[in-house]
Chains A and B, each alone.
Chain A
């Protein structure tokens, strides 16, 4: 009797594990189909330029203050924590270079991507999710307008093109606040800070890390649109779409960063 109960439990848990595995691959399969659909609609006319400009403006204007603030905070934290270590090793003069390099090469891009992921991915997931459950997307399709082209393509492209620009903003505020934090501890002129910080920086240190945010933008746009467009089940479905958009976009950004850092080291070191 006990053996048969254990066997039933084991079969049940195996079946549950099987379901999870199937759902996992199904999710990736559907995401792949969604991406293929995006590629097809992105490069075929008519182009929704007006909606793209609207989304680009929305994303930029609403993310800018957050990105600037996050960049500034990162600059201060890097300066304060690094200064102490450098003093211990007698390399205090390297502080501007360490701040500039760490912000340009990693902190600026990744912090920008995570902040935009938190703000924009939730917004896009919730907006498209709400449109889906209230049949607005069906209404658009019934009006002979392709919702992938109008809603998805424009948002994904806006994310891809806006991320590098926002990264520049984050870099600027990070370095500026790094100098302020540094000069608060021990006065140093901005000119000297910039000179020492940038004297060994090449385009290979700046361009690839900044441009890798295009991939982060693609992930944010694609995952949040995907979650929003497949929302179902009323307000609960919308909430799920918004939450999953943020969580998955942030996770994919961090995983993609591992790969991109490696690729940049291989091709641009």
Chain B
């Protein structure tokens, strides 16, 4: 990837929003640290994402990007620091209250993490079956609408093993949207996809952001995709945020790592 290539607009980014600091933060991370054994993954990370804003978190493999997402949703406990999601401090919430926060957050996992013993429609219906009082008919309609919104309604009766990687991610996205979340977390949404499917996935994310005005965090290696779907970008190195700002801010940086990351060499 060359700088010239990055200079080109990768695709239309019409839905890009300007950062609106007047809104209360949907996610507020302060001085967050996390280690696994001897290995320190995140060091005093601080971030803020307002409603309707999308932050892309970039960095090399193993820099703690996915761990950051799992910390935000309370799947891991931090060693130090604070994480507020819609104002609730998730680091010390009791399980019941934590689950209430989780219902407002959709999570698209790197490998989609679809339940492999359930069909596509059962996967999407899974959170609805547990957290909504919908009748069977209402639930079926909601599942069908969600699958249609990601272009997967023709495959409702298939098992995850019968789907391609891109299709699995679309179903994972439908499942993440099932409870009408206010926040979406994307863990490598385009990893392992061919460029055309990756572009389609980015377009889908953009469309959803435009329609639903969600706060999103997108963890990715894909600089093109990050630029297309995000308002701001944060680049992680050695567990710390090296630089945070718009794509233009990153491009103006003279830090050798930033330059190398953007140029790919």
Q: Interface of A with B (CB < 8 Å)?
A: 127, 130-131, 134-136, 138-146
Contact = CB atoms under 8 A, between A and B. Distances in A.
Contact of A142 (B102, B111, B115): B102
Interface residues of B, number: 24
Given A135-B110, A135-B111, A145-B126, 9 more contacts: A135-B109, A135-B113, A138-B70, A139-B109, A140-B115, A142-B105, A143-B131, A145-B127, A146-B95
Interface string B42-76: 00000000000000000000000000001001010
A140 B126 CA distance: 9
B130 interface: yes
Given A136-B115, A138-B113, A144 B75 contact: no
B102 A136 contact: no
Given A144-B99, A144-B102, A146-B95, A139 B131 contact: no
Contacts, number: 52
A141 B102 CA distance: 9
Nearest to A50: B129
Given A138-B70, A138-B75, A144 B103 contact: yes
A44 to B, nearest CB: 10
B114 interface: yes
Given A136-B116, A138-B113, A143 B126 contact: yes
A138 B109 contact: yes
Contacts of A139: 107, 109, 113-115, 175
Nearest to A133: B111
B109 A143 contact: no
A38 to B, nearest CB: 15
Contacts of A140: 115
20 contacts: A127-B117, A134-B111, A136-B115, A138-B70, A138-B113, A139-B109, A139-B113, A139-B115, A141-B75, A142-B107, A143-B102, A143-B126, A143-B130, A143-B131, A144-B99, A144-B100, A144-B103, A144-B130, A144-B131, A145-B130
Contact of B114 (A130, A136, A138, A144): A136
Contacts of B111: 134-135
A134 B113 contact: yes
Contacts of A145: 126-127, 130
A9 B100 CA distance: 55
Interface string B239-264: 00000000000000000000000000
A138 B172 CA distance: 13
Which one of B103, B110, B111 has the greatest number of beta carbons of chain A within 10 Å? B111
Contacts of B102: 141-144
Contacts of A138: 70, 75, 109, 113
A1 to B, nearest CB: 33
Contacts of A131: 115-116
Nearest to A146: B95
Contacts of B75: 138, 141-142
Contacts of B127: 143-145
A146 B127 CA distance: 12
A136 B130 contact: no
A165 B168 CA distance: 40
Contacts of B175: 139, 143
A134 B70 CA distance: 14
Contact of B113 (A136, A144, A146): A136
Contacts of A144: 99-100, 102-103, 127, 130-131
A54 to B, nearest CB: 10
Nearest to B129: A50
Contacts of B109: 135, 138-139
